Amino acid sequence: MSTPIPDGIEAMPEVMEKYRAYGGAYRFWATGIAMLGSFATLLSATVINVAIPDIMGSLGMSADEAQWLAAAYLAAGTITMLMNTWFIRAFGIAVTFSVGLGLFAITSLIGAAAASTEMLLVMRLLCGAAAGVVMPISMLLIAQVFPIRSRGLAMGMMGVGTILAPALGPTLGGVLVDHLSWRWVFIAPIPAVVPAILLALIFFPERPNDSRRLDFDWEGLALASIYIIAFLVGLTRMQREGVYDPDAAVWLVIGGVAFLGWVFWELHCDDPLLELRLFTNVRFTAAVTVTFIFGGILYASTYVFPLYAQYVSRLIPTDSGLIMAPAGLVMAVLFPICGHFSDRLTPRMMVVTGLLIFAASNVPMAYADNMTPIAALIGWYVLGRIGMACLFPSLNAACMNALPLELMSHGSSAVNFTRQLGGAFGVNLMIMFVTHREGVHQWRVSETQNWANHGTMEQLRLAQEELAKLGQIGYQSFEMSFGFVVQSINAQSTIFAYRDAFWLITITTLVTIIAAWFTGSRRPVDDMA
């Protein structure tokens, strides 16, 4: 005897069959499995950050190559996210999800054993490509196993995995690097992968009964790959060679032309990778715009904070990760709660509230320095993550609620694609911004450090006195004391650059409120009516 479907469920026939087979508990099985898969792939994207210096030293990797460890993962995952709708129609959710996670695990293990830079970069590329199919499937399935009136709660439960991973990644990475080896950061996600694969084969729906011939959009894939890679290469060159590098400009132009070509092709293709007509829906477009911008902000802030803790507060990798851990625990508790509230309130109210809280958390960071108490840094970081807890469940639910069932797979791909693309842009632009501002501040501070500056002369005098106590006198003493002043200038410039970064994050977050205003003033229960 089959179990009746709860009121308000809007799902594919294959999902309905699973619901009838396993009853009301099915939604929690599906959500838990999706959380495991999402957690593993997102953990892999963030756990590597604190290990990069050790990887560079072990493999003789250059700074440019190290940057591509993260960029390759994000770029490949962004591209395969666009293929998700076709994968689901061709193979079904269960097979696509399980195979994706399986390839993710295999490439992670090979990457952990890599003996060369080239091998590691290839494995990160393949690992990111495999991971790219997981998140859209998770979002699509969870949106369907919960009633429309409870989708905020559903997205909040999923968010426990998706946001907890970036929050805990630096902590876990720091511990593994300090006490074991950098190779363990690639193995860390595997324990979550194995049960997710086994359970997905049981509980996730099979291939849909679609008799229509499936055509893969190879042209769209090629154009999407070109513009994503071209944009990332262009931004990378701008970081290394400067904003006015002509080769960077060429890459960005190629990316822009490929993007316009992709948009034109997708609008006229019978079976597009991404159904761009989604964006005729104002609520969906607004929510995706916020997702893109805030995806960049999220990845940029997650990149900046641990580096700030290491370079400015002088913390070791383990400690820089540990100070981020309380925020992860807070989010794990708040995501379902905030998701529940998002079902009772309007998307606009929750998203704007989340943006305001996140912006407010970055203002004190813009005034911090090497004397700022660690407890204060933890408190401000936790406050920012409370803002995220308000924002993400409502934002994801607003995206799904704005679409009919037949467009949900395209919608989940679009949401995750734009978030990932925003993240890739956000990290690259933030690196470029911090590097540029360090140079500006070094020039400005150096200008003031001359013989007429009484503070500079006092620093030199005190440094020479201390060196004299150690037996250093004469020209050698002067040279060493002058080096001390240069180090002080560099340290000040670094602090000022990170302050500017937090101001940039604050301003960008506040500007995003303009797009958030159009996410909708209707509650999910109103949409049901």
3-state secondary structure 180-241: CCCCHHHHCCHHHHHHHHHHHHHHCCCCCCCCCCCCCCHHHHHHHHHHHHHHHHHHHHHHHH
Strand locations in 69-151, DSSP E?
A: none
Q: Looking at residue 356, what is its pLDDT?
A: 93
One pLDDT digit (tens) per residue for the chain, 529 residues: 455 666 666 667 677 777 777 777 777 888 888 888 888 887 777 777 667 777 777 777 666 667 677 777 777 888 888 888 888 877 888 888 888 899 988 988 888 887 777 788 888 888 888 888 888 888 778 877 777 777 777 777 777 777 677 667 767 777 777 777 778 888 888 888 888 898 888 888 877 666 555 678 888 888 888 888 888 888 777 777 766 778 888 888 998 899 899 888 888 887 787 788 778 888 888 888 888 888 888 878 877 787 777 776 677 666 766 777 787 778 778 888 887 787 777 777 888 888 999 999 888 888 877 777 888 888 888 898 888 888 888 887 777 777 777 777 777 778 878 887 887 788 778 877 877 777 777 776 665 555 455 555 555 555 555 555 555 555 455 455 545 555 566 667 777 888 888 888 999 989 888 888 877 655 554 544 4
Q: Looking at residue 446, what is its pLDDT?
A: 61
Other Cβ atoms less than 10 A from the Cβ of 335: the count is 27
* Burial class (CB within 10 angstroms; exposed 0-12, middle 13-18, buried 19+) of 391: buried
Q: Looking at residue 357, what is its pLDDT?
A: 92
Of 416, 389, 407, whose CA–CA distance to 278 is shortest?
Answer: 407
Of 24, 13, 31, whose CA–CA distance to 339 is shortest?
Answer: 31
Separation CA 22–CA 232 (nearest Å): 45
CB contact at 8 A, 181 and 51: no
Give me 350's structure tokens. Answer: 């929750």
Q: Looking at residue 528, what is its pLDDT?
A: 44
* Burial class (CB within 10 angstroms; exposed 0-12, middle 13-18, buried 19+) of 274: buried
Of 387, 386, 397, 392, whose CA–CA distance to 333 is shortest?
Answer: 386
Give me 9's structure tokens. Answer: 């469920």
Separation CA 259–CA 20 (nearest Å): 43
Give me 198's structure tokens. Answer: 């086994």
Separation CA 123–CA 48 (nearest Å): 13
Separation CA 444–CA 216 (nearest Å): 55
pTM confidence score: 0.76
Separation CA 134–CA 69 (nearest Å): 20
Separation CA 390–CA 400 (nearest Å): 17
Compute, in degrees rounded to 10, the torsion defined by CA atoms 493, 497, 503, 509: -170
In angstroms, what CA-CA distances link 82 with 138, 140, 416? 14, 14, 9
Of 52, 34, 421, whose CA–CA distance to 199 is shortest?
Answer: 34
Give me 330's structure tokens. Answer: 């807070």
Separation CA 449–CA 7 (nearest Å): 72
Q: Looking at residue 317, what is its pLDDT?
A: 62
Amino acid at residue number 241 = E
Separation CA 80–CA 86 (nearest Å): 10
Domains within the chain, CATH numbers bracketed:
13-207+271-441+494-528 (1.20.1250.20), 217-270 (no CATH)
Separation CA 421–CA 410 (nearest Å): 16
Would you mind telling me the total number of residues written for the chain in this entry?
529
Separation CA 428–CA 77 (nearest Å): 16
Separation CA 115–CA 120 (nearest Å): 8
Helix axes of 93-112 and 26-47: crossing angle, nearest 10 degrees = 30
Separation CA 463–CA 466 (nearest Å): 5
Separation CA 208–CA 229 (nearest Å): 33
Q: Looking at residue 231, what is its pLDDT?
A: 83
Amino acid at residue number 41 = T
CB contact at 8 A, 37 and 196: yes
Local structure of residue 519 (DSSP, 8 states): S
Q: Please report which helix (H) or strand (E) contains residue 137, including its range.
A: helix 134-145
Other Cβ atoms less than 10 A from the Cβ of 430: the count is 22
Separation CA 199–CA 135 (nearest Å): 16
Amino acid at residue number 349 = M
Separation CA 253–CA 343 (nearest Å): 43
Amino acid at residue number 179 = H
